[in-house]
Amino acid sequence: MKRRTWLLGTTVGAGALLVGWSLTPQRSRLGLGSLMQPGEHDMALNGWIKVMPDGTVVLAMPRSEMGQGVHTALPMLAAEELDVPLSAMRIEQAGADAIYGNVAMLVASLPFHPEEEEREDGFGRVKASRWLVGKVARELGINATGGSSSVADAWEVVRIAAATARASLVGAASLQWKLPVEDLSVANGVVSHPSGLSAPYGELARQAAATPPGEVKLKDRKDWRLIGRPAPRLDLAAKVNGTARFGIDIRLPGMLHAALRLSPMLGGAPGRIDAQAALAMPGVRRLVQLPAFAGSASGIAIVADSHWQAQQAVRAVEVEWLARPQGPLDTRVIAKDLEQAVKSRPGHEFHVRGDVEQAERGGSRTIEAWYSAPYLAHATLEPMNATARVQGDRVEIWAPTQVPQMCRGVAARVARVPVANVDMHVTLLGGGFGRRLEVDYVAQAVRIAMDLPGVPVQLLWSREEDTAHDFYRPMHVARLRATFDRAGQPSALQIKSAGDAITPRWTERGMPALAAPVEMPDKTASEGLFDQPYGFAHQKMEHVFTRSGVPVGFWRSVGHSHNAFFAESFIDEIAAELKRDPVELRRGLLKGAPRHLAVLNLAAARAGWGSKLPLGRARGVALHESFGSIVAQVAEVSLDAGQPRVHRVVCAIDCGTAVNPNIIAQQMEGAVVLALTAALYGRIDVHEGKVQQANFTSYPMLRLAATPLVETWIVPSERPPAGVGEPGVPPLAPAVANGLFALNGRRYRSLPLAG
């Protein structure tokens, strides 16, 4: 999808005529009430809002909850405009209509440098591209939870839908009482008049459904009662008392269980299979061979009465595994190939300013450093799972997924039925981080269920299979060069990186119909490098796209997760070369970026930058923008028996309007834990075609005792909301690495940091 939207953007920029497209208004996202499938007593007022007889308001929820708080944040937007307490809100899964598609995520995929829009006068290339991609996104209506875009995408549409519903409810009261609309007011879900007349929403809903809304106005910011204030999460109670339903919790009458074994060699396949002993084990029903589909490895599955029986039996199957036809993969070879690609292959230029080569020729000196980041697994707490039932030409799926429409599509392709014949139930996700943007596990569940018509089958991966058959964050390397002018000041920055592109592979796996015939540059490979805010007069940022053969996918904060480590560590190297304080150097380079400077200053002040620390401790700083939000982090570090230890992390964030400050703080804390896990321990190694890590013993997580104190400070803003779920990840690794350099003088240029 990002290739396709990039192609559209460049087409507009070239002034090409797109036959069949006209400059008509974009598709409305309000929708009809029939989209919410109203029941006998509840009344849907549009495609997003319906009202129950008791006054409860139901919001159509198109986004998946995986701990990021979206099932609270979006109801807050609706409750604000409807003037109802948050406790009166409920959610139900949105349907498949295009109004629920994620427009913001697609528009954000365009690879424009921020200064391009700042320079643009009128309706230029950037605005035209965003307009066109927004139009296409509305037509496609792809429902996806990713890119930290849920609140940004819902910011207008959910508030407008709620304000429209409010206008219809007030209009219904106006008609009933024969009083002017302007004389009526709403509060706590009740429409009232100074004369004493009043009616709760539940009593007005039926007439409101047939009442045109008239003029619709969003509430003024000064009148907000919910947005911007801390509020408890709506899913908290269910997660505490155990009633919350994740994919792994699905239990259906007559349900069977499946376990699988995939080829231990990436790109391999099963050859001879002897399942005689396994099929004779108690509770075992059958063996199903699994072809490679939607990017999955091929293998086998056993279906049994319980998961334990299926797991024991699948391990008892004797399989002769065939190697990858092109030969086994090895990460040591891939790392060398990437470095050679930077040295010898031309890269795609994502951003050029000034003349780097001339600046280097006329400069006083140039410094250079190589950085690298390994493959990473997602390691979600809830392993991959899905439950499927195939009966005749109907398919029903229960799955923790970030892309329900893609799941419906892949299920239809596997079962060879129309997409309209696939019913999708989205459960809570026990971790997503991008792994559940894939649909391989759903395809497998459907294929297994096809062999048992009418019987629901739950497929649950083991942790070992989950680690060995992920879609990994790509391995990347980068060469960074900085040039200083005759006065000794930094004048030029050149970064050339290499690594696999994610978006083309993801599109091929999940939406083959949208895969472009010509592969276009993928923004995610260079994001956080080509669009950084520092004021170097001369810049050149390029990336060499590779295709290693290792399956790659979106990992929380995607390219920013490693590119921030490269860039922010190197900024510290420049400071060290100049013998300047790292914060002061950044301040000097941020004169043209006041938002970034404010975030940096807030983090430094709250962390006590420059104040004395206990012996054996030091601070490191990093600043990074991703998904529209700017985050600065200061990490307080030490060494414990030679191993890094992080005691405190101070985060400052400018994410636009803070819808729920509590959730923002929670996301910064969770991001620090995940990012610190990856920074200290995370790596996936492949030797002789096999992933070497298996369970948490070889792919360790951060322990509670090693978790630092995390403080979050939010910059007040009246800008629209930007991303929160991912922006806390990128600055952590460089902040820790820079702190370690301040502590022991050793420069850390590769991840993970712990030996």
Give the CATH number for residue 345: 3.30.365.10
At which of 467, 485, 504 does a domain end? 467
State the pLDDT at residue 127: 87
Confidence band for 48, pLDDT divided at 50, 70 and 90: very high
State the pLDDT at residue 204: 97
* DSSP-derived pairing of the beta strands 256-262 and 457-460: parallel
Tokens of 477: 């390397």
pLDDT at residue 216 tops 90: yes
Instruction: Report the mean per-residue pLDDT for the chain.
Output: 94
DSSP structure class, residue 66: S
Q: Are residues 502 and 641 in the same domain?
A: yes
Confidence band for 114, pLDDT divided at 50, 70 and 90: confident
- Across 113-134, b (16+ Cβ under 10 Å) vs e yields beeeeeeeeeeebbebbbebbb
| Number of structural domains the chain divides into | 3
Q: Are residues 52 and 185 in the same domain?
A: yes
Whether 752 is in a domain gets the answer no
Q: Are residues 598 and 713 in the same domain?
A: yes
Whether 96 is in a domain gets the answer yes
- What residue numbers bound the domain in which 461 lies? 254-325+380-467
Query: Which among 693, 678, 669 has a CA at the least distance from the CA of 754?
Result: 678
Q: Are residues 364 and 423 in the same domain?
A: no
pLDDT at residue 531 tops 80: yes
Whether 555 is in a domain gets the answer yes
Q: Are residues 516 and 476 in the same domain?
A: yes
Whether 148 is in a domain gets the answer yes
List, for residues 625-679, the tens digit of each pLDDT value: 999 999 999 999 999 999 999 999 999 999 999 999 999 999 999 999 999 999 9
List, for residues 540-575, the tens digit of each pLDDT value: 999 999 999 999 999 999 999 999 999 999 999 999
Q: Are residues 655 and 510 in the same domain?
A: yes
Q: For residues 55 and 33, give the distance between their C-alpha atoms in angstroms, rounded to a whole number.
A: 17
Please say whether the beta carbons of 568 and 480 come within 8 A. no
State the pLDDT at residue 614: 96
**C-alpha torsion angle, residues 508, 510, 513, 519 (rounded to 10):** -30
Whether 596 is in a domain gets the answer yes
Distance of CA 532 to the CA centre of its chain: 20
Q: Are residues 436 and 582 in the same domain?
A: no
Q: For residues 613 and 610, give the distance between their C-alpha atoms in angstroms, rounded to a whole number.
A: 9
Whether 386 is in a domain gets the answer yes
Q: Are residues 394 and 490 in the same domain?
A: no
Please say whether the beta carbons of 662 and 723 come within 8 A. no
State the pLDDT at residue 27: 52
Q: For residues 259 and 457, give the distance between their C-alpha atoms in angstroms, rounded to a whole number.
A: 10
pLDDT at residue 15 tops 80: no
Whether 387 is in a domain gets the answer yes
Q: Which residue has the tokens 């009043």?
A: 198
At which of 233, 264, 289 does a domain end? 233
Reply yes or no: is the peptide bond before residue 85 cis, omega within 30 of 0. Answer: no
Report the 10 Å Cβ neighbour count for 656. Answer: 21
Q: Are residues 165 and 304 in the same domain?
A: no
Please say whether the beta carbons of 65 and 185 come within 8 A. no
Identify the weakest region by mean pLDDT among 124-128, 590-594, 606-610: 124-128
Whether 118 is in a domain gets the answer no
Please say whether the beta carbons of 735 and 621 come within 8 A. yes
Residue 397 forms beta bridges with which residues? Answer: 388, 424
At which of 432, 467, 502 does a domain end? 467
SS3 of 179-238: CCHHHCEEECCEEECCCCCEEEHHHHHHHHCCCCCCCCCCCCHHHCCCCCCCCCCCCHHH
Tokens of 560: 């920013």
Question: Average of pLDDT values for 706-711?
Answer: 98
pLDDT at residue 19 tops 50: no
State the pLDDT at residue 21: 36
List, for residues 362-393, the tens digit of each pLDDT value: 999 999 999 999 999 999 999 999 999 999 99
